[in-house]
Amino acid sequence: MTGTLSSACVRLFSNLAKRKKVPVAMTIAGSDPGGGAGVQADLKTFAALEVYGFSVITAVIAQNSRRVVRVVPAEPAIVTEQIETLVAERPPDALKTGALASTAVVEAIAAAIGSLHLSAPVVDPVIVSTSGARLLDHAGERTLRDRLIPLAILVTPNLPEAELLSGIAIDGPSAMRAAARTIRRMGARAVVIKGGHPFASAGGAHAALSATAIDLFYDGRSFIELTGDRIPGGGAHGTGCAFSAAVAAWLARGVGLEMAVRRAKAFVARALRQGFTLGTGRTLLDHFARK
Ligand code: PXL
């Protein structure tokens, strides 16, 4: 783990030293002090993919890999000021949003993206954590839909989030397509629904999992099914964060959207295959895994 971490960092910083234009990605997300998800995981993902990372904190969260104890949303003004200060030095080449905690924070971010003419964000519509805690207040769900998703280059819901956003019970592939259409109609350029969770009709969380996990990408032209082997991990912590951060990293490096999504999926699969725990908690990713 450490060997590949240091070689990625050496390449990143030797590019900096040679004054090559270093790609910069910005994450706007919550803090996971355990480092498995949120801003901390996003920065590891950026570093592993050799992209310099900016990180704007939207909420301070007391949590470990098993449970969320408390979420304290940041004041909207300090979120705006973090973004403005960073952009004054260097506008990022790509950005992603994660847990946004409150409707006022969502508003502040949408306003900043507009007024500072930032790149269209990858929006990870984080609403409830895998452990069941709310990471966005109820009013924020609507603001996310009405103000942020319309700005997005890509929205990356998992199955439960796609159901919440679309209002469609996703019980199989055709409902998954209908949900993708509905979410894209909210104004995003593209959507990818991550198929890692069990379908609702199969009994929700208690359903038997199929051997493959199919993600569905839709950009308004065609549906693309991205198939991958299901990797045992039992609901790992921080996979969604790593996926959306990896898409942003590849976009920052100038890769097209569909290829960025494919590479991000491969990145998460690698990280999950080398997953580990700290003892009794949920599986954590090795963001610096090589194979
Ligand atoms: O995976 C959703 C998520 C996003 N952001 C933060 C989190 C979590 C899940 O726990 O803690 C900060």
Residue 9 lies in a domain: yes
State the residue range of the domain holding 232. Answer: 2-273
Mean pLDDT over each residue of the chain, to the nearest integer = 91
63 ligand 1 Cβ < 6 A:
yes
Residue 40 lies in a domain: yes
Find the 32 Cα to ligand 1 centroid distance in Å. Answer: 7
Nearest CA to ligand 1 atom 10: 129
Answer whether residue 45 shows pLDDT above 60: yes
Closest ligand 1 atom number to CA of residue 238: 1
Residue 279 lies in a domain: no
For the chain, the domain total comes to 1
CA distance 16 to 146: 39
30 ligand 1 Cβ < 6 A:
yes
Region 12-16 average pLDDT: 65
99 ligand 1 Cβ < 6 A:
yes
Region 151-158 average pLDDT: 98
| C-alpha of 75 from chain center | 22
Residue 283 lies in a domain: no
Q: Which two tokens stand for residue 285?
A: 């990713």
CATH assignment of the domain containing 152: 3.40.1190.20
61 ligand 1 Cβ < 6 A:
yes
pTM: 0.92
Find the 88 Cα to ligand 1 centroid distance in Å. Answer: 28
* Residue 220, phi-psi category: left (phi > 0), alpha (psi -120 to 50), beta (remainder): left
Residue 117 lies in a domain: yes
Residue 208 lies in a domain: yes
100 ligand 1 Cβ < 6 A:
no
Instruction: Give 3-state DSSP helix, strand, coil % of the chain, rounded to 5.
Output: 45, 20, 35
3-state secondary structure of 165: helix
What order of strands is seen across the sheet that includes strand 68-73?
68-73, 52-63, 24-31, 94-97, 122-123, 154-155, 191-193, 212-218, 223-229
CA distance 122 to 154: 5
241 ligand 1 Cβ < 6 A:
yes
Residue 278 lies in a domain: no
Q: How confident is the model over 87-139, as pLDDT tens digits?
A: 999 999 999 999 999 999 999 999 999 999 999 999 999 999 877 899 999 99
Residue 129 lies in a domain: yes
- Return the percentage of the chain with pLDDT > 90, whole number: 80
Which residue out of 239, 241, 272 has the highest number of ligand 1 atoms within 8 Å of its CB and is therefore the one to mutate?
A: 241
Answer whether residue 234 shows pLDDT above 60: yes
